[in-house]
Amino acid sequence: MANIIAPACSAAFPTHLALLFLGFYPEHDREETVELRKIVVQTKEDVESKNKARAKNAFFYITFKCSGGQDYKAIVRRTTEQWPEHMALLVESFM
């Protein structure tokens, strides 16, 4: 699991996030600059392409590069179906 803390984003995704704390490796508690390479949003909801990131239930396929030069891939699942007024994020990351 990962804890992701980032500044509020506009409707379009920024190419760089100033702050992104990745909690995949608890022994390395630090903030890193992350370069987002590609983000694909998949949802079953009937929404315009520019609003897919705001869908209540969606999969985010993210490719990013950390300051150390390593490329990573992450899959983030956002769901709000199980409990009203509750959002869950499931994050898996791999190299």
The DSSP-derived string for 38-64 is: EEEEE-SS---GGGGGG-SSEEEEEEE
pLDDT tier at 9, thresholds 50, 70, 90? very low
Partnered with residue 63 across adjacent β-strands are 38, 73
- Please give the model's pTM, rounded to 2 decimal places: 0.57
pLDDT tens digit sequence for 26-75: 555 556 677 888 888 888 888 888 888 888 788 888 888 877 777 888 88
CB atoms within 10 A of CB 84: 6
Residue ranges covered by each domain of the chain = 34-94
Instruction: Look at residue 17 and tell me whether its pLDDT is greater than 50.
Output: no
pLDDT tens digit sequence for 78-92: 887 766 666 666 666
Reading phi first (left if > 0) and then psi (alpha if -120 to 50, else beta), residue 85 is in: left
